[in-house]
Structure 1
Amino acid sequence: MLQTMWGWQPALYLFLGGMGAGAFIMAAVLLLIDQTRHRLIVCVSMWAALASLAAGLLLLLSELVQPARGLLMWQSFSHFTSWMTYGAWGAFAAMAVFAASALLATRPVDVRLAKKWAWFEKRGMALRRALAVVGIALAAFVAVYTGMLLMAAENVPLWNTPLLPVLFSVSAFDTGVALVELVAVLASKKDPLAPKARTLMERIVVVLVLLEGVVMAAFLASMLGGDAQTAIGATAASSASLLVSGGLAVCFWGMVVACGLALPLVMAVAGLVLHGRAKKKPGAGQHGSGVLMAIGAAGALVGGCELRFLILAAGVHADVVAETVRGLIG
């Protein structure tokens, strides 16, 4: 039995929101480490991060009974005791910072502001760096929130664990880096990725994939190792079994593990090997490195998206009421 209460919109929000947050963080890091290079990559990535988060929020609002009410944030999001409220304000604040950062990263806007205001010509880059730092903090919150939103469901054991926000956060950073990698590949002719930046991104991919694999293993092990004598433990084990060996196993092992983890890891390691050879022989493997990056990034995006759909589908509610009644009768 699969979860049917939530449709496809929340799953896409969890993916797009997390990916947008991760993409902004990677773009902001590129900006902070080198303010003179990769302007096009940073600009396009920041716009893509904003578009992803905005699209995800619209999908989430469309799942509400009255979507239009969700837009009235000052009326609907005022209960400061729920994660929904914190997430709403955090997401909208992130969108504001993402938008400002993307605008200032756009070359015509930057040039026009510098010509119009002398203070911006002197302090424009400092402002962009400050926005990048604030944006990183907000993006990290949005990435964590995508998991906290599900963790609030107490009667769904697969979701009600601190490991889920950790898993979704790592996956968000991973898919965000993948999005920036695709932007870098597409913009390679106008804005070639510097060898140091390329190496940094591929090392980040290796670390994130390995970390995601460890967190995912711990997540599934905790679910499978629950007390089968209780409704919570039995439902948790049943949900995890759906992913590992049940009806969702083919998609899980094929699209999440093989495509979303193994493929990006192999491509990143292969790219690092090519960079090592390029140091000895300049120019060698440049085209091949871009192809490897694109393949790995595409795999990460497919796997990251599928992960959200599968976690939602396997999130079965535990029949706690029936267990309580049986306990009272017995």
Structure 2
Amino acid sequence: MTYEPIWGAIIAWYLFLAGLGGGAFVTAVFIRFRHPDCTRLMRIGRIIAPAVVIVGLCLLMFDAAAGFAHPLRFALLLTNFGSVMTWGVVFLAVFVVVALVVLVLDLLKKAVPEWLDILGMVMGLAVAVYTGCLLGVCQGFPLWNTALLPILFLVSAVSTGMAAVLLVGVFAAPMEFNEVVVLKKFHFWLPVVELVLVAALLFVTSANPSPAGWESVAALVMGNWAACFWLLFVVMGLVLPTVLECWMLWIASHELETSRTGQMVSALSDAGVLIGGFVLRLMIVSAALPVTIVQPWML
């Protein structure tokens, strides 16, 4: 008997876009306090944040089949605050509202209160963590039911959010892109941390008492998902960005780093991070196998 995943690519896109949106807002706040003169780059983050989350929510409603026909059904989620999904709705709703208010103020060239940016950042981080908790509460899936998954998704969300802002910034604000050195150095370490967390997640999952844990890991590293895992996620999503950014930040000359060639190298690195971020969620969603429960025959 074969197992058909309960969720597919649409949910993977939703998890990816929700995390990316939260990470993009965090990036905008980081730029505000560390690179306050880079206003165009900050605005890019403020535009990306609500836009991608709204697209992700539309995908979620589409995947829910009746979501568009009866959208008020989602309001019923607010009746159970013991549910992770209920808290997810709260975090998403507050985040989208705050992100849109911040964006409107920015576009109108009005000052954005610090407390509003900080609230949006907290909600953005909460959304990123929630995307991991949404899967983590499913106790029947060893690959999901681990405390490492929300942490991994949080790190990946911040990494992809920063990568999206920097990638757009290469083309929309190339001069400011060269100024955010602190942001680039901070972003450099995120794929490294992510690689460690993925290794830990696979180790913990493979040690699960249920065969489903080892089989899920085997499907990723040497089974149906092996090519995707090693080539698209590990090589393109983690190793390549780390190598390229290490070269650009600490080995290449300042002239090369700030040249158009250097910017394109960084853009390739950021594109790799985005690809890896989506592939990570697609694999986690699709490769997870459930624990098999055997019930004795009723006599």
State if a TM-score over 0.5 links the two structures.
yes
Q: Is the 8 A contact 1:19 1:49 kept in 2?
A: yes
Q: Does 1:201 find its partner at 2:183?
A: yes
User: 1: CA distance between counterparts of 2:168 and 2:89?
Assistant: 28
Aligned residue pairs total 296
Distance 1:325 1:138 in 2: 47
- Identity of aligned pairs, percent? 30
Q: Answer whether contact 2:29 2:118 (CA < 8 A) is retained.
A: yes
SS of 1:192's equivalent in the other structure is helix
- Distance in 1 between residues matched to 2:100 and 2:159, nearest whole Å: 22
Q: Tell me the CA shift for residue 71 of structure 1.
A: 4.6
Q: What secondary structure, in the 3-state scheme, does the structure 1 residue paired with 2:296 have?
A: helix
1:307 match:
280
Answering whether residue 255 of structure 2 is matched by residue 273 of structure 1, we say no
Contact 1:270 1:292 in 2 (8 A): no
**Structure 2 segments unaligned to the other structure (5+ residues):** none
Counterpart for residue 117 of structure 1: none
Task: Give me the whole-angstrom Cα distance separating, in 2, the residues matched to 1:93 and 1:72.
Answer: 19
Per the alignment, residue 237 of structure 1 pairs with: 214
* Aligned position for 1:325: 296
Match of residue 120 from structure 1: none
Q: What is the alpha-carbon distance in structure 2 between the residues aligned to residue 2 and residue 173 of structure 1?
A: 32
Structure 1 residues 1-330: aligned runs within 5 Å? 1=2, 3-35=4-36, 37-68=37-68, 69-71=70-72, 74-106=75-107, 109-110=108-109, 124-125=111-112, 127=113, 129-189=114-174, 191-195=175-179, 197=180, 199-227=181-209, 233-273=210-250, 277-278=253-254, 283-287=255-259, 288-320=261-293, 322=294, 324-325=295-296
Change (3 A) 1:177 1:319: same
Q: Deviations over 1:220-273 (max 9, x none)?
A: 00111222xxxxx20011011100111110100000100100011011111202
Residue by residue, what CA displacement relative to the aligned partner does 1:99-155 show, whole Å, maximum 9, x if unpaired?
11111222xx12xx5xxxxxxxxxx35x1x222111110000000000101112111
Q: Separation in 1 of the partners of 2:73 and 2:245?
A: 44
| 8 Å Cα contact 1:42-1:105 kept in structure 2 | no
Q: Deviations over 1:157-195 (max 9, x none)?
A: 111111111111111111111101112101235x53353
The separation in 1 between residues aligned to 2:135 and 2:48, in whole angstroms, is 25
> Given that residues 236 and 276 in structure 2 are in contact (C-alpha distance below 8 angstroms), is that contact kept between their aligned partners in structure 1?
yes
Distance in 2 separating the partners of 1:134 and 1:167? 22
Structure 1 residues 260, 78: closer, same or farther in 2, change over 3 A? same
Q: CA 1:158/1:70 → structure 2, altered by over 3 Å: closer, same or farther? A: farther
Q: What is the CA deviation profile of residues 6-64 of structure 1, one whole-angstrom value per residue up to 9, with x for unaligned ones?
A: 132111001111111111101111012243x1211111221111111111111112111
Query: CA RMSD for the aligned pairs?
Result: 2.0
TM-score under structure 1 length normalisation: 0.84
Aligned residue identity for 1:14: L
Bigger Rg, structure 1 or 2:
1
Listed as ranges, the gaps of 5+ residues in structure 1 are: 114-123, 228-232
Cα distance in 2 between the residues matched to 1:45 and 1:135: 12
For the residue of structure 1 that corresponds to 2:176, the secondary structure is: coil
**Helix, strand or coil at the partner of 1:5:** coil
Contact 2:8 2:282 in 1 (8 A): no
Contact 1:143/1:172 (8 A) holds in 2: yes
One-letter amino acid of the structure 2 residue matched with residue 238 of structure 1: E
User: Which amino acid in the other structure matches residue 63 of structure 1?
Assistant: D
